Structure 1
Amino acid sequence: MVNSNAQRNARLLRLASTASVVTAVVLIVAKLFAWWVSGSVSMMATVIDSMLDAFASLINMVAVYIALKPADEDHHFGHGKAEQLAALAQSAFIAGSAIFLILHAINDLTNDVEIANEQVAMMVMAFSIVCTLILLLIQNYVIRQTGSIAIKADEMHYRMDLITNFSVILALALAAAGYREADAIFGILIAVYMLNSVRKVAWESIQMLMDRALPEEELERIEKTILSVEGVQGVHNLRTRISGALPIIQFHLDVQGDLSVRQAHDIGGKVKQAILAWMPDADVTFHLDPN
């Protein structure tokens, strides 16, 4: 059952990462056309963002495929941390594009750049919104099923894109009504939002790379599950971390000192199965300590 669950998660991760790359390429082509006919700085913001999305999503797809590789002689705990590295790289791409966008928007504010073909550009943005919504539905389902930090970082990209696309439509509408500066102002606001949104994913990725423990409520549940198994007298040295989407749990199990090796290991096996019953993808390792 554990294997079937892992295989299902692997298929979902591949689906989400591939869908992300395909969507990014489609949006780049559409937005490049809209930018070419309009000259809008906020439209250029979405082009830059989609280009970076495509590059980051490609890295993400490669990272997911690496993370799904099983443990080997050189990587005893698997390759899961490739996901955190990909999420950190995506965060850097987002921050860089946001800073570039702010500088370009300021330049357009001072030079009063004209915008043309606003209607065509708005139609392209409406198309982009539909594509992004479909991808977000796929990604959110995969995140709920797998808890992948890499897909979560990618989902953040496209959630920002969704807000960006609505903002660009509003900016283009205001520009068409004679408020030319609105386009650059919205470009700056989008960039600030990008910088603010990227902080959480970047920090979470760094913490996972530094082997942060599982959340306190999960630690309490693990300890309660262990102590609920008949024959267990105590638990200590409980240590946990996350590698990609794989929780790694290690602990020392206190049992009666007069038990046979077989009896003690039977208790340990029941403890492991109890944990896997609600955390099926976990890597559980225990050491028996006789009292």
Structure 2
Amino acid sequence: MNLNSSNNITENERYKIGNRITWITIIINIILSIAKILVGLLANSTAMLADGIHTISDTASSIGIIISFFIAKKPEDMEHHYGHEKAESIAGFVLSLLLISVGMNIGYSAIKILIAGKNIVPGVTAVWAASISIVAKEVQYRIAMYGGRKINSSALIADAWHHRSDALSSIGALIGIIGARMGYYFLDPLAGLVVSVIVVKVGIEIFINGYNELMDSSIEKEKLYKVAEEILENTEVNNINELRSRKHGSKVFIDIKVCVDPNITVAKGHSIGEDVEKIIHKNIDHVKEVLVHTNPCIRPEVGKCSDCEARTSIFVRNGKKKHV
């Protein structure tokens, strides 16, 4: 059985929203990265130069996200029966590796300068550049996060955190620049090192999330418990033999096995299955497809409910099962 997702946003609308937000961030990032690298070189600021390189990685990742949106919106075909939504998960996964790599590179450069003990005084231009960058990157974060949550895009949410890490990077750079100008020369490279730790941490978190999506992780168990209870309370299902879910990019697939009265007609069993599917779509967002399998319930004259439960996996709380 297959019904449309409860989400009112169509795939074309998702693509347009995600694409528009990503292009806005790309334009801002190009301007910021050029400005920060130039200021870093001219004002002798290691922290600002590292921050500018970090912003370039934002631009590269955003281009990758645009490509993933284009692929994800393609419908099912003969080679991809479940669609292409995982392209967004792959983009988020690759973005995490990019973040980790950039963070480690920034940290390595900062450590080399700290060991060398160079007394570099950044110019005042670097202070203004870092301040403007903080505001711009925070705005980008809020725009991308809003859009990512609206269209349920893990790639866009990952990109939002990339912008937030850049804002934190700029804060670190600003502290280091001001400290170095006050005579604490070690603060500029030290700020670059702190930035690297922040970037790597965010990258690891996005990596774990992307890994789980690519491994078909389930949605929250609480949502499965809730929908199972409503099915048992509001349909003619006697018991739930199995309830499984898996994330597929921005979408969710649900497989459920239920047992019903074995003496009903095929048409009646199909009607019960449709009731089950409607409840799932009502309670779980972004469901792309629900597969309902009906089993004949073991009657008392044939066996006990415990016999059925012994061979099934039930996702309902104790006391919530129906018995025949």
Counterpart CA distance in 1 for 2:77 and 2:119 is 57
Q: Structure 1 residues 289 and 52 mapped into 2: Cα distance closer, same or farther (>3 Å)?
A: same
Q: Structure 1 CA distance, aligned partners of 2:249 and 2:60?
A: 20
SS at 1:239's partner residue? strand
Superposed CA deviations along residues 37-92 of structure 1, whole A, max 9, x for unmatched, are 21211111111111111111111221122122222211111111112211111111
**What is the DSSP-based 3-state SS (H/G/I as helix, E as strand, rest coil) of the residue aligned with 1:114?**
coil
Distance in 2, matches of 1:65 and 1:43, equals: 34
The alpha carbon displacement at 1:26 in A equals: 2.2
Runs of 4+ residues over 4 Å off in structure 1: none
Return the alpha-carbon distance in structure 2 between the equivalents of residues 267 and 17 of structure 1: 43
Question: How far apart are residue 226 of structure 1 and its match?
Answer: 2.4
Q: Tell me the equivalent position of 2:70.
A: 65
Amino acid at match of 2:292: F
| Shift in alpha-carbon separation, 1:202–1:280, aligned structure 2, 3 A | closer
For 1:178-257, list aligned pairs within 5 A: 178-257=183-262
Q: 2:293 aligns with which of 277, 287, 290?
A: 287
2:29 is the alignment partner of 1:24: yes
Aligned residues: 290
Gaps of 5+ in 1: none
Q: Distance in 2 between matches of 1:235 and 1:14?
A: 41
- What is the TM-score with the length of structure 2 in the denominator? 0.83
Deviation of 1:247 (Å): 0.8
Name the SS of the counterpart of 2:109 in structure 1.
helix
Q: Contact 1:80 / 1:246 at 8 angstroms: preserved in 2?
A: yes
Partner of 1:258: 263
The reply to whether residue 80 of structure 1 matches residue 88 of structure 2 is no
TM-aligned CA deviation for residue 173 of structure 1: 0.8
In 2, the alpha carbon distance for the partners of 1:262 and 1:28 equals 63
Structure ranking higher in helix proportion: 1
Q: Counterparts of 2:260 and 2:146 in 1: how far apart (Å)?
A: 41
Q: 2:308 aligns to what? A: none
CA deviation string 1:153-202 (max 9, x = no partner): 11111111111111111111111111111101111111112122222211
Which among 5, 10, 20 is matched to residue 6 of structure 1?
A: 10
Identical positions, percent: 24
* Bigger-Rg structure (1/2): 2
Q: Specify the SS of the correspondent of 1:78.
A: coil
Match of 2:317 in 1: none
Instruction: Work out whether residues 254 and 290 of structure 2, in 8 Å CA contact, stay in contact via their aligned partners in 1.
Output: yes
Question: SS of 1:45's equivalent?
Answer: helix
Root-mean-square deviation (Å): 1.9
Displacement, 1:280? 4.5
Q: When the two structures are superposed, what TM-score results if normalisation uses the length of structure 1?
A: 0.92
